[in-house]
Amino acid sequence: MSFRTGWTREMLAARIDHTLLRPEAMPRDIDQLCEEAVRYGCAAVCVNSIYVARAASWLAGTPVKVATVVAFPLGASPTAIKVAEAAIALSQGAQEIDMVLPVGLLKAGEIDVVRADLGAVVAVCHAAGALCKVILETALLTAEEKALAARLAVEAGADFVKTSTGFGPGGATVEDVAFLRQIVGTSAGVKAAGGIRTVEQAIAMLEAGADRLGTSATVAILEALPPVSPTIME
């Protein structure tokens, strides 16, 4: 493969949350996920909360962070449940929380409820020194709703806005990433997730403004790049 890029395998890996959220994932799959994340130098692993303690134990002493999801994939849990889920995960070693925004309430115009929901989870994360990413599920939102959701996340103090769960009707798009970057500016990071399977997609998301990627295709993506500074192909 030849394409113009300044990205090396190490550079790209440092922006990836190596993700395994399938319901059938077994303990041995989490072990493999963690081993791959350390081997390639990923930013984090992202696992379901039942596996946070296992991932934290595996990754102890490494630079790889443990991320988990809250109210996943629907975002339809009561705020108190979201807070409790986040708090338990944080107590077990999670360092980053990816929470799903209550999409139906946003679309219904229940802005104060959504704002309070996001703020409550952000607060418990920040009290523990952890990052909070807010998943918008952009495929379900109009452009106006995406902008509103991103602004509410920033107002709540979220560290990132994130495009998708990967379980919705669509995943990340370059257009959504660029749009979210425009909305949040430098006030928050942008995480692209959902359907990122190739190195070309990954680089396009980053060049559109993403700071972090969530993907389960990490190994295939990274193996498509050289491990050292590449020769730029004409």
Give catalytic residue positions: 98, 162, 191
With beta carbons less than 8 A apart as the criterion, state whether 198 and 221 touch: yes
Lookup: tokens for 143: 């452009």
For residue 37, with 0-12 CB atoms within 10 Å meaning exposed, 13-18 middle and 19 or more buried, which class applies?
buried
> Which amino acid, one-letter code, is at 13?
A
**CB-CB contact of 171 with 163 (8 Å):** yes
Taken in order 27, 49, 57, 202, the sign of the CA dihedral is positive
Given a contact cutoff of 8 angstroms between Cβ atoms, the answer to whether 95 and 66 are in contact is yes
Please give the C-alpha separations between residue 214 and each of 2, 88, 156, 171, 228, in angstroms, as whole numbers.
Answer: 24, 22, 22, 11, 23
Q: 51, 21 in Cβ contact below 8 A?
A: no
Q: Phi/psi at 193 (nearest 5 deg)? A: -150, 150
